[in-house]
Amino acid sequence: MTNLTDLTVAEIRDGFRAGDFTAREVAEGFNANVAAAKALNAFIVETPDHALAAADAADKARGEGTLLPLSGVPIGMKDLFCTAGVQTTAASHMLEGFKPTYESTVSGKLWAAGAGMLGKLNLDQFAMGSSNETSYFGNVISPWKRGGGDNAALAPGGSSGGSASAISARLCPAATGTDTGGSIRQPAAFVGISGIKPTYGRCSRWGVVAFASSLDQAGPMARTIRDNAILLESMAGFDPKDSTSLDLPVPQWEAGLSSDLRGKKVGIPKEYRVDGMPAEIDALWEKGIALLKDAGAEVVEVSLPHTKYALPTYYIIAPAEASSNLARYDGVRYGLRDLPDGANLQDMYAATRAAGFGPEVKRRIMIGTYVLSAGFYDAYYTQAQKVRTLIARDFAKAFESCDLLLTPTAPSAAFALGEKQADPLAMYLNDVFTVPASLAGLPAMSVPGGLDAQGLPLGLQIIGKALDEQGVLNAGLAIEERAGFSARPDKWW
Amino acid sequence: MAIDLQTVKKIASLARISVTDAEADALVPELNNIIGWVEQLGEVDVTGVEPMTAVIPNTLRLRDDVVTDGDVRDKVLANAPQAEHGFFAVPKVIE
């Protein structure tokens, strides 16, 4: 009999509808996998009862002929989305024990579409990190190992590392992620799955713990392009509660899937050929170019002249917005309070924030506070916002001569836990290929391209014009069909 | 401009994060590294360039000026570290 936890979202949905199995069988299978995978530390909270309740509702709906788009499909929820009555921590001590009295728009839409929740997935604290080593609840471990008997624990990427690890290990068929500078795409690449960051404003930010509001976007992560399209249709849509939500209809991305790229032009940005790029990443990129050509696309070279300034721009804007957003954690309304003996209100704020935030979060708040402080605001923050305009213009100009861009997702395969932790700057450089599209608000996804010499997955990134998720998904599908990526980690957990 | 110990302590104070002397010492080189790196943006010619305010053109909506929620006091207070008599409670502010 088919192992139900090996199925994709589409296979679960369709097999359940056809009566091949019950939703309860699916939920029980994934609940068992979650319970048996503590070694990966992918979940902060497990919610088997939520998954079972949704499954029972789905089984009942099937009997009554009232099926919903995601009936029978259990998913993982990144612990950055507020879930009513279920602890929501952003992987921080600050929010340990916080049980929202409301539901985020995106998670609410998924439940309304019939999905069930297997649990809340671990992440980098407040989504700040690229390796899932900043979580207060411990590192997430990638299910992948290097070949040749190397037993080093590898990073699943970040910040959506729990989502990546859990999907790759078949603890859930799909999960939500959020992406501020690459937090969906880089972890997807590290574990050999797909993930899409839609156009800024497609998915509501309401009820998502804020990091950098002009960059934060929710999106799905799953093993196939089709599954990403299915999930995104249920997550996207106008929300009057988010002032930057786009008031546009949600396209039928799944129905629109086509891997025929004839007539499409794919741009290769020459500035992404960075110094010291490993030969394997370059080879992967060439392979991606060949696959897209095979699908009928024409490949052209394009220029994004301000690429080298994207990372420093990001590391001014994101910390600046974070320092402002995270000012809300004051020990008064929710979350941790640290009140030393005899402390006044100001002392309480400072003690609470010292105890509640981890080192990377403090570092970013302090950078943000510095670049926004009197006398430095124009030199850093205003300058960064101007360079951001130039970066967005680069993309607009490139899209005059092409429809999509193809790049590697990350400059390396997954690294070992601890390998880059000593130097914050080295960690930041991991986002070199993902940050530019975030700064311009463009849809971008990572799709598996192959394995490196050590047997670890490598991802290709497709960047599209604003609102052209369909074009991005279709190019992803063309790569998926041709790359034939079927590798999965050997079970050791 | 280099960030010295005094600047680190001032930033920490502005950010309302208490730091020990050892933490502040460790932050001096870390923050200098990062700030020194982002300062390369100064070399970009931005003459006549407007700072970005919205990545995707969007108009800010207005809604009718009516009450849309309320009567949820207990929900608002549900996660408070300390709530008394229907209020958030904090240490005494006025001597």
A159 catalytic? Reply is: yes
How far away is chain B from the Cα of A219, in angstroms, using its nearest Cα? 17
What total number of domains does chain A contain? Answer: 1
Nearest CA in chain A to B48: A386
Please say whether the dihedral angle defined by the alpha carbons of residues B12, B13, B17 and B19, taken in this order, is positive or negative: positive
Across the interface, do B55 and A200 touch by the CB < 8 Å criterion? yes
Residue B80 forms contact with A (CB below 8 Å): yes
Across the interface, do A389 and B58 touch by the CB < 8 Å criterion? no
Across the interface, do A387 and B44 touch by the CB < 8 Å criterion? yes
What's the confidence (pLDDT) of residue B92? 85
What's the confidence (pLDDT) of residue A252? 98
pLDDT tens string A192-212? 999 999 999 999 999 999 999
Token pair for residue A349?
A: 């704020």
| Cβ neighbours of A384 in B, within 8 Å | 38, 41
pLDDT, mean of residues A419-425: 82
**Residue of B43, B52, B69, B93 to mutate, testing the A interface (most A Cβ within 10 Å of its Cβ):** B52
Instruction: Classify strands B83-84 and A174-179 as parallel, antiparallel or unpaired.
Output: unpaired
How far away is chain B from the Cα of A251, in angstroms, using its nearest Cα? 18
Q: Domain for residue B23, yes or no?
A: yes
Instruction: Classify strands A265-269 and A74-78 as parallel, antiparallel or unpaired.
Output: unpaired
Report the C-alpha gap between A171 and A156 in whole angstroms.
Answer: 14
Structural domain boundaries, residue B32: 5-41
**Residue of B10, B11, B17, B20 to mutate, testing the A interface (most A Cβ within 10 Å of its Cβ):** B17
Residue B6 forms contact with A (CB below 8 Å): no
Calculate ∠ Cα B29-A215-A456, nearest 5°. Answer: 75
How far away is chain B from the Cα of A166, in angstroms, using its nearest Cα? 29
pLDDT for residue B78 is more than 70: yes
Confidence of residue A299 (pLDDT cuts 50, 70, 90): very high
pLDDT tens string A59-110? 999 999 999 999 999 999 999 999 999 999 999 999 999 999 999 999 999 9
pLDDT for residue A428 is more than 90: no
Q: Domain for residue A346, yes or no?
A: no
Q: Token pair 């394009």 is at which residue?
A: A302
Whether residue A159 is preceded by a cis peptide bond, meaning omega within 30 degrees of 0, is yes
Query: Which of B:16-45 have CB within 8 Å of A?
Result: 16-19, 27, 30-31, 33-35, 37-42, 44
Q: Domain for residue A139, yes or no?
A: yes
A184: Cβ contacts below 8 Å, ≥ 6 apart = A160, A177, A178, A195, A196, A197, A219, A221, A446
One-letter amino acid at A158 equals G
Residue B81 forms contact with A (CB below 8 Å): yes
> Mean pLDDT for chain B?
93
Q: Domain for residue A381, yes or no?
A: no
pLDDT tens string B15-44? 999 999 999 999 999 999 999 999 999 999
What total number of domains does chain B contain? Answer: 1
Q: Domain for residue B31, yes or no?
A: yes
Is A297 in contact with A266 (CB distance < 8 Å)?
yes
Residue from the list A336, A385, A424 with its beta carbon closest to the beta carbon of B52: A385
Q: Token pair 């009999």 is at which residue?
A: A1
Report the C-alpha gap between A76 and A193 in whole angstroms.
Answer: 15
CATH of the domain at A41: 3.90.1300.10
Report the C-alpha gap between A305 and A295 in whole angstroms.
Answer: 28
The per-residue b/e assignment along B60-83, b for 16 or more CB within 10 angstroms, e otherwise, is eeeeeeeeeeeeeeeeebebbbeb
Q: What are phi and psi of A242, to 5 degrees?
A: -120, 115
Report the C-alpha gap between A159 and A177 in whole angstroms.
Answer: 8
B55: Cβ contacts below 8 Å, ≥ 6 apart = A200, A214, A392, A439, A440, A441
pLDDT for residue B72 is more than 80: yes
Q: What are phi and psi of A158, to 5 degrees?
A: -160, 165
pLDDT tens string A150-176? 999 999 999 999 999 999 999 999 999
Report the C-alpha gap between A218 and A205 in whole angstroms.
Answer: 7
Please give the share of chain A, as a percent, with pLDDT higher than 90. Answer: 95
pLDDT for residue A417 is more than 80: yes
pLDDT tens string A310-348? 999 999 999 999 999 999 999 999 999 999 999 999 999
Across the interface, do A392 and B93 touch by the CB < 8 Å criterion? no
Q: Domain for residue A351, yes or no?
A: no
Catalytic residue among A71, A107, A130, A159: A159
Q: Domain for residue B78, yes or no?
A: no
> Mean pLDDT for chain A?
97
A324 catalytic? Reply is: no
What's the confidence (pLDDT) of residue B95? 62
**Residue of A369, A372, A432 to mutate, testing the B interface (most B Cβ within 10 Å of its Cβ):** A369
pLDDT for residue A1 is more than 60: no
| Cβ neighbours of B63 in A, within 8 Å | 240
Element (H, E) at A477: helix A469-483
Across the interface, do A366 and B12 touch by the CB < 8 Å criterion? yes
pLDDT, mean of residues A398-418: 96
Q: Domain for residue B81, yes or no?
A: no
Across the interface, do B40 and A98 touch by the CB < 8 Å criterion? no
Residue from the list A316, A351, A362 with its beta carbon closest to the beta carbon of B38: A316
What's the confidence (pLDDT) of residue A116? 98
What's the confidence (pLDDT) of residue A427? 83
What's the confidence (pLDDT) of residue A325? 98
Token pair for residue A427?
A: 């960690």
A287 catalytic? Reply is: no
pLDDT for residue B1 is more than 80: no
Q: Token pair 């429809």 is at which residue?
A: A403
Structural domain boundaries, residue A60: 4-260+444-483
Residue from the list B17, B34, B79 with its beta carbon closest to the beta carbon of A98: B79
Q: Domain for residue A21, yes or no?
A: yes
Report the C-alpha gap between A446 and A406 in whole angstroms.
Answer: 10
What's the confidence (pLDDT) of residue A312? 97
Residue B63 forms contact with A (CB below 8 Å): yes
